[in-house]
Amino acid sequence: MLAPGKEPFDSLDLMSTAQLPNGAGDYGISAVHDEHHGKYRQPVQILYFTHHSTKYYWNDMIQNFEFYIGLEDVKVSCMSIHSDHSSGLSKTLQDYRRLFFGENEIAVRVPSLFKLLIKEVLNPFYIFQLFSVILWSAEDYYYYATAIVFMSVISIATSLYTIKKQYVMLHDMVATHSVVRVSVCRGNKEIEQAMSTDLVPGDVIIIPANGMVMPCDAVLIHGTCIVNESMLTGESVPVTKTSLPSSGEDAAWTYSTEEHKRHTLFCGTHVIQTRFYAGELVEAVVVRTGFSTEKGQLVRSILHPKPTDFKLYRDAYLFLLCLVGVAGIGFIYTIVLSIMKKVPAKTIIIESLDIITITVPPALPAAMTAGIVYAQRRLKRVGIFCISPQRINMCGQLNLVCFDKTGTLTEDGLDLWGVQTVEDGSFSPPEADAAEDSLVNSAFVACMATCHSLTKIEGELSGDPLDLKMFSATGWILEEPTDEETTLHNPIMPTVVRPPNQSIPEANQNNPLTQNMELNQLPSCEIGIVRQFPFSSTLQRMSVVVRRLGEKHMDAYLKGAPEVVASLCKQHTVPQSFTETLETYTKQGFRVIALAHRQLESKLSWHKVQSLSRDLLETNMEFLGLIIMQNKIKEETAGVLRELRQANIRTLMVTGDNMLTAISVARDCGMIRAHERVIIAEAAPPKDFHPASITWHYTENPVQTKDNQSVEINLEEGVYARQEQSYHFAVTGRAFAVITEHFPQLLQKLALRATVFARMAPDQKTQLVEVLQSIDYTVGMCGDGANDCGALKRAHCGISLSELEASVASPFTSSTANISCVPNLIREGRAALITSFCVFKFMALYSIIQYLSVTLLYSILSNLGDFQFLFIDIAIILIIAFTMSLNPAWKELVWRRPPSSLISGPLLFSVLTQIITCLLFQVLAFLLVRQQSWYETWTPQSE
């Protein structure tokens, strides 16, 4: 490739002493003029290759190939995105960058049937079958050859149809809204229409008010967006995206799509609507395009999955090599015997090659596949759908299953159990003041009504289920300004919440906040939400700035994890019993949310509020109290976990929720039994010349012990399940990250005895699966598709309880939204695995027995007749091989799992004893017949 520069973010004015800002200038692509010397700079040649939809470019500096992601490659700060990249690119600079990043499209090419035939279907087995058919045809053995051709054609056609259908489905899913027209800002402030395929990192696009499907990954620099990210996360709840900070400490950080997720619009997600103030356009800077986007990486992982490594398939090939070795001995024996008997050369060649087709059965692939096909049909009948049939056998070997908590072990929704407010520096009794008028008029309820990210879509409230439950409990009404109101009457008109004026909604008549109130007691006030800092999983909190109707000052409300909120409040406003009260609720399995309030200065204007940093706002708050939410365990959860434990299958919980809440749910559902103790492992990174450290403490005893306390951990495989356990480890995501980086030698030991992993990020869930696989666990993962995609793909057996697009990469999807699918899948996996072993042993024994028979007959220059071969191959072998796999799965999961290896003592002993027994009986019968008085030696008169 020829280009004016070596890297995509080089300035086109390469010979100029002054660097032009992003988007300035208009230069040719083929050559760059040097004004100082009056000559053209010749384009340079760049070497590259493409692998798995990614281009790798040669770098002379590092003497290696590298690939470009996007705007993150230049380590740009949030502030510089606003200052240097907000004006847009010139057309020439856009064309230059497209040389490196290519067209902005996620192209899933549907291969032709011929390519699929060559790539996917023609494996060594089918080639061997073709060889066998040609050989049999030369021997005039047309009957069995026709049967094998018939089976092979059906098998190949079925495979081609299935693979082609999957490619078409993936193509249709990706192609939907992938090419759209977008408004692009140019360096001279002009706006032009362009195709989304022309976009490159650095382009500035305008998000329309009525929304769009994002064609790239882009970071918001002006305005706010309500986005549905179900395509990537599986979560259908809309999320709010705000503009990237342009000032303060946050703006100095280097931009990263992972760290600044709440400011980034991801490719494939649906922007439902936008919010803007003072008539400003909602603008975003393109940071990634094509296969570098989040959606592109997901599609690439589906197109090019990591190969599954299963011992059965490795051993099957070794076993076949042994059969080939036996066939080789027979081949040599046949040639030597034929030469000694002076048999014609043509007969020697045909009979010698025939011994190979007898030893290695050509029908083996079809017979092995039959069990998986039958198991797949049985799974479909119980609502489990599979896109990777070969993994069904792996399910039979599962000895550990990881479960997400919310939506998997517990119900999706949360119920408001009660509230606990603060009075005179201490907690009031829970629910005691829930129906009092003083509470409804308080800052506590105002915080519940305003501190959320809810929005109205087609007249219906939409947003996080927790926010919906909290807001509906207040009985208040949310009103959003229309586009006409915002632009004509008041350019900064905010979203307003207010109590009902006339009646209490029927759905809220039993709420503790409204049940004993008279209609005339309802307060008549309106609160406008001026600014919103959306919830951040990293910060574990969200906040809003509001103004009450008729008041000059503004208020700030904060909602989040109790420990975080308490740390941001004035110490004297946090009750002394805070820790004990919080622990009481979390141990009972409740989800606890803390609220806080702060009155801002009266002279603070709207424009100052918009430039106010989050860190400055969320300080010196006043603690308001706690909201206690109840997350119920699904009815099927406890029974399924008990069944898995009885079957010697270890279970883990991997969740993003609070540690104590997760431990409580683990106890309630039986993952941790009543007599077993839990040790929480916490770790701190190095700080102020202090090295990283680990602390341990029992949940019943908050006194921590340093990491020099010895805990004996047995690394022997299977000890966990065979011995009675007296303790379990529980690890937070923060501790997991520290231990992974600073104490890697402890990671595997911890994974052997840990049962609860709380506050885990999505990538940490994937890391945990990899750690468990590294200590020889066959790992299953069960989640609802939200933030579990990576772990679902990486596990040996990923089961998604969500049927959304995010689950397209999960090998299994259950239409039943509870974990009862897990034992069903393991049972069918065991049935498929057992039948695979039985079929393999049966086919191997049949071929060896037939090999012995033919070898003995060759010694007297004889052979079986065509119809004898046909009867053996079809009537005896194929019928039994195919009907053997019809055996359904056993109704219970037993303690003992099927073997995982063909090369094992019991299995080899079984096969070898059968072979020896058959050999003895055949040789004995052969010799006895020859010794009979009526036996006459047969001398062939012709070939």
The residues that are catalytic are 404
CA dist 125 and 363 (Å) reads 9
Q: Are 697 and 704 in contact (CB under 8 A)?
A: yes
Identify the DSSP state of 893. Answer: -
Q: 3-state class of 420 per DSSP? A: strand
β-pair partners for 536: 541
Residue 538 C-alpha from the chain's centroid? 20
Three-class DSSP category at 400: strand
726 burial via Cβ count (<10 Å: 0-12, 13-18, 19+): exposed
Tell me how far apart the alpha carbons of residues 224 and 232 are, in angstroms, rounded to a whole number.
Answer: 20
Asked if residue 4 lies in contact with residue 98, where contact means CB atoms within 8 angstroms, the answer is no
Token output for 507 = 């759905």
Rounded to the nearest angstrom, the gap between the alpha carbon of residue 480 and the centroid of all alpha carbons in its chain is 35
Contact 759, 657 (CB under 8 A): yes
Q: Name the 3-class secondary structure at 187.
A: coil
CA torsion, ordered 249, 255, 260, 266, to nearest 10 deg? 150
**What stretches of 102-199 show up as alpha helix (H) in DSSP?**
113-116, 124-138, 142-175
Q: Which residues pair with 166 in a beta bridge?
A: none
Tell me the β-bridge partners of 684.
693
Helix (H) or strand (E) holding 749: helix 744-753
- 772/755 Cα distance (integer angstroms): 12
Amino acid, res. 884: M
Residues comprising the chain, all counted: 943
Distances (CA, A) of 239 to 270, 455, 785: 11, 9, 16
Contacts by residues 862-866 (CB-CB < 8 Å, ≥ 24 positions apart): 862/938, 862/940, 863/351, 866/140, 866/141, 866/143
Q: Count the Cβ atoms, other than its own, within 10 Å of residue 926.
A: 15
> Under a CB-based contact definition with an 8 Å cutoff, are residues 471 and 445 in contact?
no
Give the CA radius of gyration of the chain: 35
As a whole number of angstroms, the distance between CA 158 and CA 579 comes to 62
CA-angle at 345, arms to 340 and 350, nearest 5°: 105
Query: CA 622, CA 605: separation in Å to the nearest integer?
Result: 22
The 3-state secondary structure of 6-57 reads CCCCCCCCCCCCCCCCCCCCCCCCCCEEECCCCEEECCEECCEEEECCEEEE
Q: Classify residue 861 as exposed, middle or buried by CB count within 10 Å of its CB (0-12, 13-18, 19+).
A: middle
Residue 872 DSSP one-character state: I
Alpha carbons 337 and 859: distance in angstroms, whole number: 7
| Nearest one of 471, 443, 762, 731 to 597, comparing CA atoms | 443
The tokens of 797 are what?
């057996």
Supply the DSSP string of 266-281, one letter for each residue: PTT-EEEEEE-STT--
Provide the strand spans (E) within 278-387.
283-288, 384-386
CA angle 343, 345, 348 (to 5 degrees): 70
Structure tokens at 136: 């049999």
